[in-house]
Amino acid sequence: MRIVLVGPPGAGKGTQATRLAEKLSIPHISTGDLFRANISRQTDLGKLAKSYMDAGNLVPDEVTIAMAKDRMEQPDAEAGFLLDGFPRNVSQAEALDELLETEGITLDAVLDLEAPEAEVVKRIAGRRVCRKDSSHVFHVTYSPPAKEGVCDVCGGELYQRDDDSEETVRTRLEVYHTQTEPIIDYYKAQGLVVTIGAMGPVDEVTGRALEALKQDQ
């Protein structure tokens, strides 16, 4: 399957993507995680991305599209993928369509995670991420690690993302409404959007997503 996951910052895209990718045996491709990996390796791309991410703005399309394309062309993504955080504006969605058309493939669904703003703000405020692998995500209240400050999966140090400060989160939400939400209409016109509520326990949301995608649980 080829799926795009969309939703406001903190809706639980990364959390759900990890589970869905495992259930569906497809790679989870997160442009945010790819940028964070570049930041921790201190690459030129990482240095460029950090300045935009820390301000809550989108990294320029040119570099983002090239990075996403490169990842989607890896052998493990041949049979399908779950895109998390890409595309994030209409020009990225158009670039993705062009790429898929060149390859003679299509998307199966765009899964839209809905959550009220007050909840996403709470989720972001309590989020803690592993320094070794930013796909290992915890929450101080909702899913605390067994030992405070330590990743249950790999023992890495847990930290609060630089872009999770209150001021940056406000900008990220605004960017989501103005630049990312329009892709939902773009994909509705293609008949691809399935919307699910992202409230409630993580497993319940995963169940809802699988049902919406018409997959066995």
Look up residue 1 and give its two tokens.
Answer: 């399957």
**Distance in Å, CB of 155 to ligand AP5, minimum:** 18
**Distance in Å, CB of 157 to ligand AP5, minimum:** 16
**Do 90 and 58 touch, CB atoms closer than 8 A?**
no
**Do 192 and 87 touch, CB atoms closer than 8 A?**
no
Q: CA–CA separation, 214 vs 31, rounded Å? A: 26
Show Cβ contacts of residue 90 under 8 Å, excluding neighbours closer than 6 positions: 182, 183, 186
**Distance in Å, CB of 176 to ligand AP5, minimum:** 7
Q: Based on CB atoms, which residue is closest to ligand AP5, 49 or 192? A: 49
Residue nearest to ligand AP5 (CB): 32
Q: Count of residues binding ligand AP5 (CB under 6 A)?
A: 36
Q: CA–CA separation, 36 vs 53, rounded Å? A: 9
Question: Which residue carries 């993504």 as its tokens?
Answer: 77
| Marked catalytic residue, from 13, 50, 71, 123 | 13
**Distance in Å, CB of 211 to ligand AP5, minimum:** 16
Is 161 designated active site? yes
Among 96, 109, 110, 137, binds ligand AP5 (CB under 6 A): 137
Containing 30, the helix (H) or strand (E) segment is strand 28-30
111 binds ligand AP5 (CB under 6 A): no
142 binds ligand AP5 (CB under 6 A): yes
The site string for ligand AP5 over 15-34 (x = CB under 6 A, - otherwise) reads: x---------------xx--
Q: CA–CA separation, 141 vs 213, rounded Å? A: 29
Q: CA–CA separation, 34 vs 36, rounded Å? A: 5
Q: Based on CB atoms, which residue is closest to ligand AP5, 104 or 156? A: 156
Q: Based on CB atoms, which residue is closest to ligand AP5, 104 or 174? A: 174
Is 172 designated active site? yes
Per-residue exposure over 44-74, b if at least 16 CB sit within 10 Å of its own CB, e if not:
ebbebbbebbeebbbbeeebbbebbeebbee
Residues engaged in binding ligand AP5 (CB under 6 A)? 7, 9-15, 31-32, 35, 52-53, 56-59, 64, 85-86, 88, 92, 123-124, 126-127, 137-139, 142-143, 163, 172, 201-202, 205
Residues noted as catalytic? 13, 88, 127, 161, 172
